[in-house]
Amino acid sequence: MKKISTRQKIINSAYKLFYKRGFNGTSIDDILKDAGLNKGSLYHVFKSKKEVLLAVIKEKIEDSLKEEYEEIATVKKPLIFLENKLLNIDFFDFKHGCPLNNLVQEMSPVDEDVAKALLKIYNNLEYYYFLALRDEKLSEEEKKSLAKMMVATVEGAIMAAKAAQNKAPYIQIVKQMFQQLEK
């Protein structure tokens, strides 16, 4: 069994805690306790809690979305692929919502570096949705605009499900989005 590095333990714990409690609701001590590490361990690897957050954004959120969506560039029916992916929600935690959206709401207004890192991920997500539209008979600009709207719709659907504390609003909104796209 491969040993998990101190850095990875910190990132894993921080991700879990930031997701459940938010960045501001999580202390360095919370992260260390969850990771089973002492304070010196964190500061040996990261200079600050913000640096931990930027690593979480890159290595947990950005990288997982890339892994989740990069296949969309090569599948035969990309829009159907995206619809199936978005409606396969058995893994999703609607109680806590979307890690990306949660951090955007909490941190984008207060930290420019974090805002830039999160915007990069949103732009990547819009690009994956744009790729899903590649077979549609639309101009490039229309596809870009539609991809942006789709991301906003899905993120809004996640928020609606989080507010309701169940998946029904998400399913309803996402299904409706794809029904509209078929027209």
Global pTM reads 0.90
* CA gap 71, 51 in Å, rounded: 30
* Residue 179 CB burial class (10 angstroms; 0-12, 13-18, ≥19): exposed
| pLDDT tens per residue across span 88-122 | 987 788 889 899 999 999 999 999 999 999 999 99
The per-residue pLDDT for 1 is 66
HSE, CB side, 13 Å, CA atoms: give it for residue 114: 20
| pLDDT tens per residue across span 121-151 | 999 999 999 999 999 999 999 999 999 999 9
| pLDDT tens per residue across span 53-84 | 999 999 999 999 999 999 999 999 999 999 99
- Token duo for residue 1: 């069994």
* C-beta of residue 44 within 8 angstroms of C-beta of residue 35: no
Q: Could you count the other beta carbons within 10 Å of the beta carbon of residue 15?
A: 21
SS3 sequence of 125-136: HHHHHHHHCCCC
- For the chain, the average pLDDT equals 94
Altogether, the residues listed in the chain come to a count of 183
The model's confidence at residue 4, banded by pLDDT at 50, 70 and 90, is confident
The per-residue pLDDT for 175 is 97
